[in-house]
Amino acid sequence: MGKKNIEKAPSIGYCASQGMYYYGYKLHTVCGLSGVIHSFDLTKACVHDIHFLKDVKADYSNCTVIADKGYISAQVQPDLFETANIRLEVPYRSNQKEWKPTFSAFAKARKRIETIFSQLCDQFMIIRNYAKDTGGLFARIIGKISALTILQYINYKNNKPIGRVKYALI
């Protein structure tokens, strides 16, 4: 994959939470508090997470973004606030000087987002795919995120919890 366009070629990345290297891409998403994905992007695995925040700054304003520890950046947080009035909430790492526990409402929202990623990995098998090129991979990712969103909508219309996508068609 990526032989035709080196900028889209997969690369080696490191996942600090799992303590392992991997080859491929990273999926970045912006989700609402209910767990619905509003926008997403795929980057090479070697691209640092904070580069996705440039896209967020261009597309969103006057909001709070709750991100994981990969988005910690002392330079980016003030820039987001000054240019787009985006407040970036990132949990502190335990070894940081100003460590404080995560606000419980933010922790609950983070858990909902982690559940969405878990569903994409387990039920929609987003990690396992048989794409032959980057265009095919991107199309499969769009299809799986669209399927997730449709199941969430079905649950919403049937007054069921939208996060229980496994039971949407029952």
| Closest residue by Cα to residue 153 from 163, 143, 144 | 163
> For residues 65 and 56, is the Cβ–Cβ distance under 8 A?
yes
Q: Is the pLDDT of residue 111 over 60?
A: yes
Q: In the structure, what pLDDT confidence band is assigned to residue 2 with cuts at 50, 70 and 90? A: very low
Question: Considering the entire predicted model, what is its pTM?
Answer: 0.80
Q: CA angle, corner 72, sides to 63 and 144, nearest 5?
A: 65
pLDDT more than 70, % of the chain: 93
- Dist CA 58 CA 25 (whole Å): 22
Q: Is the pLDDT of residue 79 over 80?
A: yes
β-pair type (11-15, 63-66) = unpaired
- Dist CA 62 CA 74 (whole Å): 19
Mean pLDDT of the chain: 84
Note the pLDDT of residue 114: 85
Amino acid identity of 16? A
Note the pLDDT of residue 158: 92
